[in-house]
Structure 1
Amino acid sequence: MSGRQLPIVLALGTTQTLAWASSYYLPAILADPIARDLGVSSNWIFGAFSGSLVISAMLGPRVGRQIDLVGGRQVRAITGITLIAGFASTVGWPLTAFGLESIGWRNTCFAWALAHILIGLPINFFVLPAVTGAKAAAAAAIKPHIPMDRTMILLAFAFAAAWSVTGAMAAHLPRILEATGATTLQAVSAGALIGPAQVAARMVEASWLSRYHPLLSTRIACLTHPIGAAIIGVLGGGVASSAFAIFHGAGNGILTIARGTLPLAIFGPQNYAYRLGIIGAPARMAQAAAPLAFGLLIDSMGSRILIVSSALSLSALLALSLLGKRSPAQ
C-alpha cells in the first residue's frame, strides 16, 4: 500500500465501520425494544430491515454497470478497508447495547446519526478525492449482454446460501446464542469476537490463502459456520458461544473477500463489476429475506435454527465443489 493510498484506506475503513455498525448490526440489539415501545412484533422490524436490503439487491447490477463505465480504482486497497471495517460488529454491538441501557433506543439511534454527521460526512467530503475515469475506453470493453451460464448459476446459488446465513447471524446472533443457553452478557461478548475473527481470517487469506485459487478459501469459509454450530451442539451455548462466534466470524471475513476475488479469478476483469452485480443480486435478496425468515423460524425452532443455517452453508459448499478452476479465457 502506497503512502497516497493510506489516508484513503483509513478514511473509508472508518466510514465503513461507522456505516455497518449503525445500520446492518443495529437490529440485533434494538429490534426487540423498538417493537415493545411501538406495540408491534419484532418481526415487523426485521421485515423493514429486509426491505432495505432488497433495495440494495435491486441496485447492485446498475451500480456495477456504472463502476465498469467509470472505472474502478484502488483494487488492492479493499483488503485494508475490510480489515478496518471488519470491526463493525465489535464496535457496533457493545456501543448499541450500552446506549440502549444508558439512554434508550431512540437516543441511541440519534447518537449514531450524529456520529454520521460529525464523523462520517466530514471524512467523505474532505478526505476522499474526486474520481475520474475514461468512460469511453471502459464502455467499449463492455458487452451489451452477459448470458447466465452454469458457472454463474452455481456461484450465484453458493453466495446466496452463504450470505443468507451471514444476514441471519447479523440480525439474530445474540438471540440465537441466548436460545442455546448463553446469558445476555455471554451472547454480546461472543458477538464482539466476530470482528477480530473476521480481521484475523482476512489477514490469513491475504498472506497465505491468496497463494491458492480463491475456490479453496471460499470452500473453507462455507465450512466454518457448521463447525461452530457443531461445537455448540456438543458443548452447549454458554461454554461454546465464543468458539461459535470465532468460527462464524472467520468464515464471514473470508467470504467478504471471496465474493470479489472468486468471480474475478474465474471470469477475468472484463465486465467484472456488472457480472458481480448479477451474481450478487440473488445473494443480496437471500441476505434481505434472512432476517425476517430466520426471525419467524427462531420463534418455533429456538436453537435448532443452527441446523438450518448449517445446512445452507453446506449447500453452498456443495455448489462450490461442482465448480472447476476455469480460466478467464475459457
Structure 2
Amino acid sequence: MQPPNPKPATSGIILLGLVQILSWGGSFYIMAVLAAPVIRETGWSQQWVYGALSLGILISGLLAPLSGRIIASTGGRGMLAASGVVMALGLVMVGNAHQLWLFLCAWLIIGVGMAMGLYDALFATLGTLYGGFARGAITGITLISGFCTSLVWPGIAFLIEWLGWRHACFAYAGMLVVTVWPMYYFAIPHRLPPGYQPVSRTQGNSAIAPLLFWLLCSIFTLASVIMTAISVQLITLLQASGYSLAAALAVSAILGPCQVASRIVDMAFKRGHPIWTTFFSVGLVAVGLLTLTLFPHLAVFSMLLYGAGNGLRAIVRGTLPLAMVKSEEYAIVVGRMARPALIGQAATPLIGGYVYQTMGSQATLWLLCALALINVALVVILKGMLPRPAESV
C-alpha cells in the first residue's frame, strides 16, 4: 500500500536539501577549511589531521548496514533527526581537543553522525516511505545540496576568521542542534506507510541476487573512490600538468555548477530507468578523465564532462537500487551497499597519495582512467542482467 501522501511535498524536499548542506558541511567538507588552522595551532602532522576525516568516513561505512536496519524497522525519521546532535557533539569535542587522541575520538563521533544523517541514510528513509515516488525527491535534494561547498566553505572560513577555529566549531555545532532536528521532523512523516511490514536482516540480505548486489557495490565503490581522489588531488594534478595555482583553482571551480546542471537535466528524464542515468554518469566521468590525461590543455572541457558525470553519481546511488528492490527492503540493501563505498573513500587519500608520491601525476591520472573504464564495463554488464520489464520502464 502507498502512504497517505505518496510523494514528498516540495517544501519538504527543499528543507531536506538544506539540512543535507548543513550536515555535509559540518562533517565531510569541514576539514577542507579547518585543517590548515588546526595544523598551525597544534603542530600536528597533516597526515594525522586529514587521517581523522578518513577515520570518520571509515566508521560511517562500518555502521552503514546498521543504519539501514534501523531505518527498515523504524522509518528513519528519529535517527536522521538525532544525527545533527551527534555531529554537533563531535564538533564540540573537536573545538575542545588539545591532544591528538581527543581530536581523533571527536571524528569517531562525527563518523557516527555521518552514518546516521548523510545521503545514504536519507535516501534509504525516503525509499522506505515513498517507494518509487522517492526518485524525484532524491533528484531535488541532490540538486539543492549541490551548492554545499559553494555555501559552506566560505561560511566556515568567515567563522574561523571571526571567531577562531575552535569557536567556529562551537558555532557550527550550535547551528546543527538548532536546525537539523526540527527540519527533519517537519519534512519527514512520523509514520511508516500503512500495511508496511518491517524486513528482517535475513530477508533484506536475500532481497537482491548476490551477483547483482556485488555489481552495484563495485560500481558505487569505484565511483566513490574516483570522486574522492579527484576531490583531494585535482589541484595538485592540474599544477603538475602545468597550471598555476590560480588557474587550477579556477578550473576546479567549474565542478560545482556542472554537477548542479547535470541534476537539472536529469529531472527532465525522470521517467526513464535509472540505469541510463548510471550510463551517463560513468561514461562522462571516464571521458572527462581521459581528456584530462591525454589533452591537459583541455582541462576546462574535461572538468565540464567529469563534473556532469559526478553530479549524476549522487542521484544514481539512491535511485538505481530503488528500481531493483522493494521499498521495504530498500533500506537494508542500501545500508549494505554503502559500507564498501565508504571504506573505499576512507582509504583513497592514503592510497592516492602513495601512488602520486611514488609514481607521479601521470600514473595517478592513468590509474583513475582505468578505474573509470572498468566502471563503464561493469554498468554494461549490469544492464545486460536487468530483467526486460525493468529496461522498458
TM-score (norm 2): 0.71
CA contact (8 A) 2:221 2:341 kept: yes
Q: 1:85 Cα deviation (Å)?
A: 0.3
CA contact (8 A) 1:224 1:247 kept: yes
SS in 1 for 2:196: helix
Rounded to whole Å, the distance in 2 between the matches of 1:262 and 1:2 is: 19
SS in 1 for 2:29: coil
State yes or no: 1:73 paired with 2:129: yes
Q: Which moved more, 1:127-136 or 1:194-203?
A: 127-136
CA shift in 2, pair 1:78/1:212, >3 Å: closer
Rounded to whole Å, the distance in 2 between the matches of 1:306 and 1:68 is: 40
Q: 1:247 Cα deviation (Å)?
A: 2.3
Instruction: Map 1:20-99; keep pairs closer than 5 Å.
Output: 20-32=24-36, 34-71=38-75, 72-74=128-130, 75=134, 76-96=136-156
Rounded to whole Å, the distance in 1 between the matches of 2:276 and 2:15 is: 31
Partner of 2:277: 217
Partner of 1:254: 312
Structure 1: unaligned runs, 5 residues or longer: none
State yes or no: 1:306 paired with 2:365: yes
State yes or no: 1:232 paired with 2:295: no
CA shift in 2, pair 1:30/1:183, >3 Å: farther
Q: 1:204 Cα deviation (Å)?
A: 1.8
CA shift in 2, pair 1:3/1:232, >3 Å: closer
Partner of 2:266: 205
Rounded to whole Å, the distance in 2 between the matches of 1:107 and 1:212 is: 47
Q: Which moved more, 1:152-161 or 1:177-186?
A: 177-186
Instruction: Give the superposed CA RMSD.
Output: 3.4
Instruction: Map 1:256-271; keep pairs closer than 5 Å.
Output: 256-271=314-329
Rounded to whole Å, the distance in 2 between the matches of 1:100 and 1:183 is: 27
Rounded to whole Å, the distance in 2 between the matches of 1:11 and 1:197 is: 22
Q: Which moved more, 1:92-101 or 1:176-185?
A: 92-101
Q: 1:52 Cα deviation (Å)?
A: 0.6
CA contact (8 A) 2:129 2:193 kept: no
CA shift in 2, pair 1:65/1:233, >3 Å: same
Q: Which moved more, 1:310-319 or 1:128-137?
A: 128-137
| AA at the equivalent of 1:191 | S
1:292 to 335, 339, 350: 350
CA contact (8 A) 2:13 2:187 kept: no
State yes or no: 1:13 paired with 2:71: no
TM-score (norm 1): 0.83
CA shift in 2, pair 1:112/1:180, >3 Å: farther
Q: Which moved more, 1:291-300 or 1:28-37?
A: 28-37
CA shift in 2, pair 1:113/1:91, >3 Å: same
Rounded to whole Å, the distance in 1 between the matches of 2:236 and 2:18 is: 28
SS in 2 for 1:322: helix
Rounded to whole Å, the distance in 1 between the matches of 2:53 and 2:60 is: 11
Rounded to whole Å, the distance in 2 between the matches of 1:98 and 1:223 is: 38
Aligned length: 326
State yes or no: 1:322 paired with 2:378: no
| AA at the equivalent of 2:266 | E
